[in-house]
Amino acid sequence: MITIILPGFSLHNKEWGEDIKKQMELGHRVLVHEWLHWTKGSFSLPREVKSILNSIGTDEVNLIAKSVGTRVAMVVVTKIPKQIVKVILCGIPTKGESDVSKKTYLSGLSLLSPTQVIVYQNTKDPFASYSDIKKFIGKINPKIKVIEKSRSDHHYPYPNDFLKFLSK
């Protein structure tokens, strides 16, 4: 078993991932994925997915994803659905997203049971409000739990909530 944290796009999200990792006492390996564009080149979804799949190998996996990491997580789910144990999605960014990107969530979430997934969305996240994401996820599967957090930013410092969900 492995838990992989998929941070947001910007380099400052590395710190979020490391903070979450420090608090994840799960009894197995926890990795923070480092986006390759943080050190060289530009973001490439196929390259990142390949790198993540290499880290997972044949292990069962939990995914904790924030922002762009949520979309990448959905692609990973479509590649290895039987290896996925639980998925935590934080700060799904739908503002300005294309329909193709939104279909990525449908593809990934349709392969998972509602008990395998939880979504945390801040009330006034600038990339998509809680009410927007509640409607968005509700159209995909109304049984997936979407938890509202009372913040007005795109920061998701909820390791205790994450641990509680992963420990169930």
pLDDT, one tens digit per residue, over 57-79 is 999 999 999 999 999 999 999 99
Q: How far is CA 14 from CA 34, 56, 72, 133, 149, in A?
A: 7, 19, 16, 24, 21
Say what the pLDDT of residue 37 is. 86
- According to DSSP H, which parts of 60-158 are helical? 68-79, 99-109, 130-140
For residue 3, the surrounding DSSP H or E stretch is strand 2-6
Tokens of 118: 């939880």
What are the strands, taking DSSP E only, across 35-149?
A: 61-66, 84-90, 117-122, 145-149
Domains of the chain: 2-167 (3.40.50.1820)
Nearby residues of 116 by Cβ (< 8 Å), 6 or more positions away: 84, 85, 86, 87
Say if residue 17's pLDDT is above 70: yes
Q: What is the mean pLDDT of residues 135-150?
A: 96
- Rounded to the nearest integer, the mean pLDDT of the chain is 93
Say if residue 98's pLDDT is above 70: no
Sorting pLDDT into bands at 50, 70 and 90, what band is 100?
low
pLDDT above 90: percentage of residues in the chain: 82
In a 10 Å sphere around its CB, with 0-12 CB exposed, 13-18 middle and 19+ buried, how is residue 112 labelled?
Answer: middle
Question: Does the predicted model carry a pTM greater than 0.85?
Answer: yes
Q: What is the mean pLDDT of residues 40-56?
A: 92
- Strands 84-90 and 145-149 turn out to be unpaired
